[in-house]
Amino acid sequence: MSKSIKKIGVMTSGGDSPGMNAAIRSVVRTCAYYHVDCVGIYRGYEGMIEGDFKEMNARSVKGIINKGGTILKSARSKEFRTAEGRKIAYEKLKEQNIDALVVIGGDGSFTGAMIFNQEFGFPVMGIPGTIDNDIFGTTHTLGYDTALNTVVEVIDKIRDTASSHNRLFFVEVMGRDVGHIALNVGVGAGAEEILIPEENLGLDRLLESLRRSKRSGKSSSIVVVAEGDKIGKNVFELKDYVEENMTEYEVRVSVLGHMQRGGSPSCFDRVLASRMGVKAVESLLEGQTNYMVGLLNDKMALTPLDQAIKGQSKIDKELLRVSDIMTT
């Protein structure tokens, strides 16, 4: 074990996601297990620059494993994007004798960590926390599984009212660059059509698909749309377009928005967070740095931060095919 690391800082950064608190708890408890001090850094890089720190022990993380959000709060920091800002941050860490960092967040947070490591040789370890599952080097990011359940339950509710009224619903879910959420909840909620950034179905084929669904006797339809869908119209424009071109349906729109980020984490996310926290601390103590902890083939694995950032999280082709079969 690396003798040089005696105090680890832990922070959350970027958009919050369910499981972040469970990961904080795991980092703190693993530090305690290895008799290493642990410091919570509030509000991400912003709090780091301001020296907004707090010593943490097992008591500090009591009762948070099942809470959404992050007790360390999160923020975006413009100052940390400047060399001056990072210099101040580095000094604040040194003042507190913090030897290494665990950064829980997404792409942007990891980029900051990597640059920080390059500039100061500061040991950093990333834990992927975002509901979008858009990080390379892990099959699951923290919060993704919870978000899938949250969204599927909401669509189940929308289905109640859709099928009571013979309506067509466009339901917009998160996913600017990747369609993981849309594809999985689309299959999971039995959606009639799924629009994701990775595929441009095209307006003609969408209409065709909806007409076929209608002809086959379906009285209601739900189309799941990822935010970043490339069909060329936002979800409200889609509604107008379909209403102009199909008179068979009353069309409604539901934009799920921020509720997708909240809620008590699923068992899967709590366990994943616990595993990732242990792996992150142990990896730092073993002298590893500049990696992201991930889940690959059901095991903990390290991916260099630059690969995690540059690599692409790809949609599962087999699931796309399953989706086609299920929606035909």
**By the 8 A CB rule, do 269 and 256 touch?**
no
The answer on whether 77 is annotated among ligand-binding residues is yes
**By the 8 A CB rule, do 201 and 284 touch?**
no
Catalytic residue of the set 16, 37, 132, 145:
132
The answer on whether 288 is annotated among ligand-binding residues is no
Contacting its own copies within 26-65 (CB under 8 A):
26, 29-30, 32-33, 58-59, 63, 65
Percent helix, strand, coil in the chain (nearest 5)?
A: 45, 20, 35
160 part of the interface to its own copies, by CB under 8 A: yes
130 part of the interface to its own copies, by CB under 8 A: no
**By the 8 A CB rule, do 322 and 187 touch?**
yes
| Residue number with CB closer to its own copies (114 or 276) | 276
Q: Does 132 qualify as catalytic in the annotation?
A: yes
Q: How many residues does the chain have?
A: 328
Residue for token pair 């975006």: 76
Q: What is the distance between the alpha carbons of residues 124 and 126, in angstroms, rounded to a whole number?
A: 7
Provide the 10 A C-beta neighbour count for residue 159.
18
270 part of the interface to its own copies, by CB under 8 A: yes
221 part of the interface to its own copies, by CB under 8 A: no
Contacting its own copies within 283-302 (CB under 8 A):
297-300
Beta carbons within 8 Å of 52's beta carbon, 6+ residues apart: 41, 42, 43, 46
152 part of the interface to its own copies, by CB under 8 A: yes
| Residue number with CB closer to its own copies (117 or 139) | 139
Q: Binding its own copies by CB under 8 A: which of 3, 78, 215, 258?
A: 258
DSSP string, 252-274: EEEE-GGGGG-SPPPHHHHHHHH
1 part of the interface to its own copies, by CB under 8 A: no
The binding track of 181-220 with respect to its own copies, each residue x by CB under 8 A or -, is ---xx-xxxx-------------------------xx-x-
Catalytic residues: 132
Which residues define the annotated binding site for substrate? 130-132, 167, 174-176, 227, 252, 258-261
